[in-house]
A and B are shown apart, each in its own frame.
Chain A
Amino acid sequence: MSKVTPEEEKEILNSSPKGTFALMLAYGAMLLLAWLLLYFGRYMALGPAS
């Protein structure tokens, strides 16, 4: 594993956490997809009740 130079370290610390944002987006999308599948595919498929 290559060593991080002080300049690179400074650049990493000052930049936005792109990996974390990507993970948040991916998990948010998965949650939304799962919710939509359950709501429309399982709940609404049985017919609306009121």
Chain B
Amino acid sequence: MLASIIYTAFKLHAQPPSNVEIIDSTQLHLTDEFAEDNLGPRSNPDGSVTVVLVAHRYGFSPNHIELPAGVPVTFRVATADTLHGLHIPGTNIDTMVVPGYVSEITASIQYHEVVKHGSLDADGKVTVPIYCNEFCGLNHHFMWSRVTVTRTPG
């Protein structure tokens, strides 16, 4: 078991999210990265995607994002108020969003796995929910948004 964990940690980079980066949660709108106009996914020159999200009572901004399957996606998430979580079913994207810190998690979304958890449209796009999985207040159970996953060619 230990050998499997060590092998996958070093060879496949399967590790717990451990980014330590502090930010003032009350001033997110004044930062370049977490300002409202700069939220959402953006493509990087190497083909990977970076998604910047703000979690707040009771939702995520932006509320709906579209991501390609099979490419590395890095989520950078900060909370504007209290403790939140971020979980996308059918993926290993699952992290706490702690006030005062930027949570970062990188994973590649597997199309054949998310399709089991979402709704498939006629174009082959799958829409899955993004859940908050840390109790954050009375309306915690209403805190979710959506991600649409597109199948990458090949």
A positions within 8 Å CB-CB of B: 32, 35-36, 39-40, 43-50
Contact = CB atoms under 8 A, between A and B. Distances in A.
Given A43-B92, A44-B12, A44-B14, A50 B106 contact: yes
Residues of B contacting A: mostly: loop
Contacts of B13: 48, 50
Name, among A35, A36, A45, A49, the residue most crowded by chain B CB atoms within 10 Å (CB to CB): A49
B105 A47 contact: no
B106 A49 contact: yes
A35 B108 contact: no
Query: How extensive is the interface on chain B, given as a class?
Result: 20 to 34
19 contacts: A36-B1, A39-B5, A40-B4, A43-B14, A44-B14, A45-B110, A46-B90, A46-B92, A46-B110, A46-B113, A47-B92, A47-B107, A47-B108, A48-B8, A48-B92, A49-B92, A49-B106, A50-B13, A50-B105
A20 B16 CA distance: 38
Interface string B9-28: 00011111100000000000
Contacts of B110: 45-47
B14 A48 contact: yes
